[in-house]
Structure 1
Amino acid sequence: MPFFKKSKNKKENSAAAPPPAPADTSSEITPDKETDSRESGVTAFSAQTLLQELQNRQAEHPQDLEFIQSRLPEIMEICGQHAENPEPADAAVRILLSPDRMTAFLYLLPPTDGGAEPEENDIISAAQDTGITTGIDMDLLKQIYQHRSYYCVFPIARGTPPVDGENGKIVDHFSRIRQIHLQEDSRGSINYKDLNLFQNIEAGEVICDIIPPGDGTDGIDVLGYAVPAKKGNAPVIPQGKNTVLNEEKTALTAKVSGEISFQNDVFRVASRLTIPGSVDGSVGNLDFAGDILVMDDICRGFTVHAGGNVIVYGMVENASVTAGEDIEIRKGMNGSGGGFLKAGGNVSSLFLEHVRVTANGNVSSETIINSNITCGGSVLALSGRGTIIGGNISASKSVEARKIGTPSNNETRITIGQAVQEEKNTEHLSAELEEAVKTLEKIRLNYRYLTEQPSVPENKKEIFNILSEQKALYEKKVKDLNEQIDKMLRAKPNYSKCRVKSDIIYGVTEISLNHSHLIIKDTKEHCNIYYKDAELVLGTF
């Protein structure tokens, strides 16, 4: 695209005719004003001719056209005043700067009534006198002079924009998604022993590379001033449990050997104990600080304790399983009245029968039969048969199932909105506080005895120092325990969010919340039981 279309002068040393209007352009602008013909020649201008050059360049620099359009009334007024000047006037040069000073624009006003034509140096000097030092298009300035391109706005100088630094990024060496590869045998059964469920990592192995942000490259505007670049944003480092940064902070590495997973937007490494078969007499009871993976069953009478997760691919019999995080039992559990599960997180099992379960999170199972469930979240039986039959179910939030009870009127008791876990914790803390107070009184008694002496004997000074430290330690412990207990006692369950929902509820099912009780004696369908005005209400969904 040429810088402009060449115009022909009608008369030597006289004002040039305006450049021809462009053909169809994207900007339909009607002429705002035209001047009368004068003796020195025809001098005409319009918004369309003023914008012609920028319209030609619009695809490359659309912001130029937007800026000049915003200043168009001012430019039109200047052109009009020049054209209507009753006195002879020389050709004039006008310069405009964009708000960011990255572009300089120039337009020529023709001579009127015999005024002087512009000299080439006049145009160049006008640009330089404005302070423009950078990015001047000298070839364009010469062409503007040679063709006397009046009443047309040209971008005659451009600065160099800054190049912002690239954002830092994380390059993972391990997948963030836990992938389970199920394999079926000839009978269509899944062999869980062949699953590649976990990603193993060795201590010191790199989890991900950390690419720091770039500084970028500063730019320069048409006046010669530096335009600083923005530094890229630093990446969020996904550092979790048992992961460390190297000294250069360019890599995240594993602190210990074990299983790596991505949870809550961070990588964590958990030392894992894998039992290739069952937990039985050949293994004994287990007590492990990390995760425990049992590829078969946990047999009757054995105890499994994990500081992390417990995952069992087989069944759990009349055994005790405790986990600091989640418990997952792929084939279900029949506790025969003595089995026990306790999780700091969630419990999920194919079925739960004659089991005692305590969980801080949710308890999920296809079937729950004659079990005692206590959880700080919700009890969910929504997949498969989705049935809760008999037993005592206590959940801080909600109980949801497809069916609750049986047509044979097995009694099922459900309690919602009761922070059972917190109450037990309060009892535990109260007992701990009582012991701490007794110990503190003994320390104070001995401490007081020594301080009442005229002077502490040399052989007692070490004991005195120990008593001083213990006194301060137990005073702080008593204070902290009191604060924890007070906080728990002041916490109230949010009864408005508590629900019992089921497609069908058989009698006899007793539901309790706070001091309100609701007994379902007859079969009810599409039940939504909630708390309103201090009473349990049986609604539908």
Structure 2
Amino acid sequence: MSENQVNKDGDIKILFNNNKLKAFLEIVPPLGEGKVPTEEDVLKKVAELNIVDVKNDAIKEALLEKNWGEKFLIAEGRSAIDGVSAKVEFKFPSLAERLGPKIDAEGIADYHNLGLVYNVKMGEVLAIKTPATEGTPGADVTGKEIPAKKGVDLRIPLGKNTICDENETRVLAAIDGNVNVRDSKIVVDPVFEVNGDLDFSIGNIDFVGDVIINGNVNTGFMINAGGNIEVKGFVEGAKLLADGDIIIRGGITTGHKGLVKANGDISARFVENSQIEAGGDVIVREAIMQSLVKAGRNVKVTDRKATILGGTVQAAEEVESRVIGSQLATKTTIEVGVNPHYREELYVLNKERNEKRLVMDNLNHNLQIFQRSGVNPENLTPKRKLALVKMLDNFKNIRKEVKEIEERIIFLENEFNKIQNAKVKAVDIVYPGVRITIGQANYLINDPIKFSAFVLDEGEVRTAALD
């Protein structure tokens, strides 16, 4: 051995990364006749440093002479997994998502339908909350725990008329209504209110609850309400449908394009050139002019100048106005005593029965001609025999249909005969040109009659004193 030779034992270096999630082993080569570290030496040092779950194969690799001076990963910790923050998923489109003209199959925009209303029913799921998670802690190479960050929780965005389920993970509608997000909270409004006219800025309204229009309803627009409709202004050429009542503070002038129809009552200042239908009463302050009015109970015009002029007014029970008709003998029809829908149905059925009877008579005539010919059906060609069978089948089917129609007509006529308190009241005067029908009995006014009621007496319409 040379006197100048340096002998130095090899060394064991164990290095950590910044967060101690990894431990690396490096064998420093010996000098001269210095001692080479053994696996036992490495494991002893690993134990001194409290390193756990070491990779023995990696230690063996690092100890190979060819690998001296290189770093080998001998232990690896486990990173913490932070918790996921809570989130709320809305189950309805936002106003921004749904607002805009409806596009049809041909790509044409309908600016009458803008999607402003989004109906929900009581109990409908409006939002689902995914709760925050705790996260999973980790550990470094010494086994020391690395804490995980908890996910951030969120308050459920409950607003007016919404509730949580028992698990507090779902937002439910407490009522039927229009759903929106207001002040970062989900709300359901039972009333849809427009602060102005119903026009192209709002579009048609199809709503499960009540609708209030603080202006006019313009021509060409529609309101369909599951509750009541109130219009502070006028209704012009529009269609209004309500399961409840309809209140029009101004007048109704729908023309031939519109309709005002309620399952409940309808009230208005005046009705002109319009069609209105109520399941209950129609109450008008000033006048009904040249309109078709149908009521399941009563029609009353109440002002001191109350007038019914022209058109047709139908009520199941009573029609009342101060003036009916005009000095010009304007044709005016007043019908009471039967539900207006029954009267209309009877008219349609009578027309249908007459049409089918004409077809039956024609078929019967052709069948009789064949019968008188004396030809044996068995001697007919297949084509003529098929035509004869079809003719017989048609005759039988139409005869059956006529029988069913006649049964319905009998039922309706019996309803007409159940009239009890049907009445027409002309508090001031009724003019010539007015036809009054009670049930199926008619009375044509030929001379002005003042301060009279009209009732059914022994099958005829007669005048009577006002109540």
Higher relative contact order (CA 8 A, sep 6+): 2
Which of these two proteins has the greater Rg computed from alpha carbons? 2
Q: Normalization by structure 1: what TM-score? A: 0.39
Q: Normalization by structure 2: what TM-score? A: 0.45
